[in-house]
Amino acid sequence: MNLVLNEDQFRVTSIQFTSKKLLIFSGIPLNKSSYRTYSGKYYVTIKIKPDALPTQPAIGQYWSVTGERKIQDMDTGDYLMKQHVYESPEHVECRLPETGEQLIRFIASESAFKGIGESKARALWERLGKTFHATLTNDTPESRTLLRDILSEDSITSLFEGYAKYKNLAHCNWMSEHKIPGSVQQRLLKYHNEQSITAIKANPYVLIGFGMRFSVVDELFQKHLKGSVHDDRRLSAALEITLRKEVSKGHTYTSQANLRPQLLKLLQDKELVAKAFQAGHDKAQYLMNHSTGTYHPTAQLLMENVVVKRLKALASQDNLYGEHANLAYGTAVNELPYELTQKQTEAVTTCLDNSISCITGGAGTGKTTVLRTALRAYNTMGFQIHAVALSGRAAMRLHESIGFHTSTIAKLLRDEPIDADQHKHLLVIDEASMIDLPTMYRLVNHVHPSVRIIFTGDPDQLPPIGCGKVLADIVISKAIANTMLDIVKRQEGATGIPEYSKLINQGIVPNLLSTGTIHFHETNKLQIEQVCCELYQQSPQNSRVMAPTKKLVFEINKKLQESINKNGRMLQFNMNGELFYQYLRLNDAILFTQNIYDKGIQNGSLGVLTSVELLGNTYGEVTLDTGDKIEVTQDVLDCMELGYAITLHKAQGSQFPRIIVALQKGRIVDRAWLYTAITRAESEIHIVGTEEDFRTITEAASHSHRRNSYLVELLKG
């Protein structure tokens, strides 16, 4: 059935709702003959994903819309209004006003033009007339001279700055017409500015680097720009995609045997595949190691070399444990309420003796005790300490453990670089098994070569999400001073957790799957969600479910909410005079998925929704597990999810009294995943799955061991 497409032009008068997933804005029609329909006035409303818009709507802007239209009656109290509603329309376009009256009204009402009311806007039009747009396109002394007897210097600046927002409208509208998402447009414009369309036409596959899929760009290239399948730009782009896929699996190098099938799938022609390899070689997209026949993506090889250069330079600075360090060590040890073991003493002195060192070991082996002691000694020696972790929750727990200021790595990288000044500096990277190659590359470029580094972590735990395995490679290479702690300190009593986790780490299936406070629940795949929910309900205050995939996390969270909080008041918000409800309920467990530093929120923060009272722009309140209160505004709501169940990466660096592990075979789940999940428990573990899956996962080598990483070879060399 062919849909009837309607069209409206309107001036924006209100923006009722905005979030990352939905934007609703309305306005009055511009066509005077359309002021009345069905004997009533009407207005136009668009409901759309923000990514589909060429620019952010603002009051006063002029828009046109084409698509399927629904006409609704809106009772305003005094009279009946018609509303033309477009949901996900075929085409939307923002444009600058064309007539004098429209332009005057636009300048006067648009907030970007501060200090310019209708009278000044009219005077501007009378002065500039048809040269208005040409004059404001370039901020020159001549242009400013024309405006000085009408506007103040501040208002002139405001006029040029406000107009600059709209100078790329033609580009945005063209890109929207070619189905290029708004987020891609904005990234492209930020980089290429008014040359964006020229850049696309010069090489459409540049869009892949800004977030578009190869197949979508390929269609644009062949269908709209009439490109050839033999074009080198297309072939290079296909090779780049296949290289990125290998990198996304964690590899920093690969082989032709892995690349060829993926290239063939994209290009559908063996001859084109051969040409793609040649095109990639000519453009230095990869370097080939002829002795091994391996293909090294240029970016990853560059990062590995930069990281290794820094690590080796620091490793050459050893034998630093002098009298000053010894005095600092004595001061730090004297503050302890207990004596260090011989291995812990060795670890602390190794940290003080080397410019770069590692403290590694399994969960509960005393890494935190060693680190805290070493940091107190460094603090006594006058070092400024920068302690970081990958996730917000891990950074928070690190602060609680060591007593020094901590932050996420992302925040550190946003701050000013750590440079050589009057202070000596020490960078501490906790949970370093999670650090991938790009992150390590950014860190070494962010800190001065004189900055000392301490890694702490367990190289046998979950590998990074990104490519490489920095900590594991460092340990394997033996090029960096490392102390491996092997005596478990954390779990006390007869929990059985230390012995159990050690066996898993060694690839040995325990004789008893249930032992001590570890309980194995034989469960078929279809019942895992239900059993996890039943176990959670036995002790909700102390429990957290660990699941391998976001999909499984979502399903378990949904079931748990239905089971234990079905009647909780729903979070609500007001939009255009109507109440809308979120799936979150009062007293739900909450997980935050992004950092919002000015609100005190970090990625991985957990809490409880303790209020759903709607007060203006605040929808409720979350109480974090730290005790801090967070007001739920729209930006906060956008990064809130149910938190009864979480993925293991969100739990990295944290512990919970009682964990429930949803165990099932999959791409993510391996021995390291199971080992890491078990070590998140303080006192009680419930593993839900089949014995067959448990054995398969435990006995197979960790996925991280199958990662191709050249860092270890460079460190050894």
Spans of all domains in the chain: 6-95, 100-178, 304-489, 497-699
Give the pLDDT of residue 712.
96
Give the pLDDT of residue 494.
64
Give the pLDDT of residue 491.
45
Mean per-residue pLDDT for 180-205? 85
Q: Do the Cβ atoms of 459 and 429 come closer than 8 Å? A: no
Residue 602 pLDDT more than 80? no
Give residue for tokens 């095109």.
279
Give the pLDDT of residue 79.
65
- What's the topology of domain 497-699? Rossmann fold (3.40.50)
Residue 457 pLDDT more than 60? yes
Mean per-residue pLDDT for 248-273? 95
Q: Hey, what's the torsion of the CAs at 706, 709, 711, 717, to 10 degrees?
A: 80
Per-residue pLDDT band for 502 (boundaries 50, 70, 90) equals confident
What is the percentage of the chain residues whose pLDDT exceeds 90? 54
Give the pLDDT of residue 575.
57
Mean per-residue pLDDT for 390-417? 87
Residue 258 pLDDT more than 60? yes
Q: Order of strands across the sheet with 681-689?
A: 518-522, 681-689, 656-662, 543-547, 645-647
Count CA atoms closer than 13 A to 581's CA, side-chain side.
7
Per-residue pLDDT band for 39 (boundaries 50, 70, 90) equals very low
Residue 182 pLDDT more than 80? no
CA 508, chain centre distance (Å) = 35
Please write the tens of the pLDDT for every residue from 59-87. Answer: 778 888 999 999 888 766 666 778 899 99
**What is each CA distance from 622 to 249, 593, 605, 629, in whole angstroms?**
36, 14, 11, 6
Give the pLDDT of residue 288.
94
Question: How many CB atoms neighbour CB 504 within 10 A?
Answer: 23
Q: Which residues pair with 592 in a beta bridge?
A: 640
How far is it, in rounded angstroms, from Cα 116 to Cα 120?
Answer: 6
Helix axes 528-538, 550-564, angle to 10 degrees: 50
Per-residue pLDDT band for 15 (boundaries 50, 70, 90) equals confident
Per-residue pLDDT band for 595 (boundaries 50, 70, 90) equals confident
Residues 6+ apart with CB under 8 A from 122: 104
Mean per-residue pLDDT for 266-295? 95
Residue 701 pLDDT more than 60? yes
How far is it, in rounded angstroms, from Cα 43 to Cα 84?
Answer: 6
How far is it, in rounded angstroms, from Cα 356 to Cα 352?
Answer: 9
Helix axes 671-678, 691-699, angle to 10 degrees: 110
How far is it, in rounded angstroms, from Cα 92 to Cα 94?
Answer: 7
Give the pLDDT of residue 37.
36
Mean per-residue pLDDT for 684-713? 92
Residues 6+ apart with CB under 8 A from 647: 546, 547, 548, 549, 550, 553
Q: Return the CATH number of the domain spanning residue range 304-489.
A: 3.40.50.300
**What is each CA distance from 13 to 63, 383, 529, 669, in whole angstroms?**
11, 57, 48, 51
304-489 and 497-699 have identical folds? yes
Mean per-residue pLDDT for 476-483? 96
Mean per-residue pLDDT for 613-622? 89
Per-residue pLDDT band for 455 (boundaries 50, 70, 90) equals very high
Give residue for tokens 């970081």.
388
Q: Do the Cβ atoms of 348 and 373 come closer than 8 Å? A: yes
Please write the tens of the pLDDT for every residue from 512-547. Answer: 999 999 999 999 999 999 999 999 999 999 999 999
Mean pLDDT of the chain: 88
Residue 574 pLDDT more than 80? no
**Whole-prediction pTM:** 0.77
Residue 343 pLDDT more than 60? yes
Helix axes 367-380, 342-353, angle to 10 degrees: 40
Mean per-residue pLDDT for 252-278? 96
What is the percentage of the chain residues whose pLDDT exceeds 70? 95
For the ranges 134-143, 323-332, 445-454, 612-621, the lowest mean pLDDT is seen at 134-143
Give the pLDDT of residue 282.
94
Residue 97 pLDDT more than 90? no
Per-residue pLDDT band for 33 (boundaries 50, 70, 90) equals very low
Assigned token pair, 125: 């039009």
Per-residue pLDDT band for 400 (boundaries 50, 70, 90) equals confident
Give the pLDDT of residue 579.
65
Residue 715 pLDDT more than 90? yes
For the ranges 106-120, 311-325, 464-478, 659-673, the lowest mean pLDDT is seen at 106-120
Give the pLDDT of residue 452.
97
Per-residue pLDDT band for 703 (boundaries 50, 70, 90) equals confident
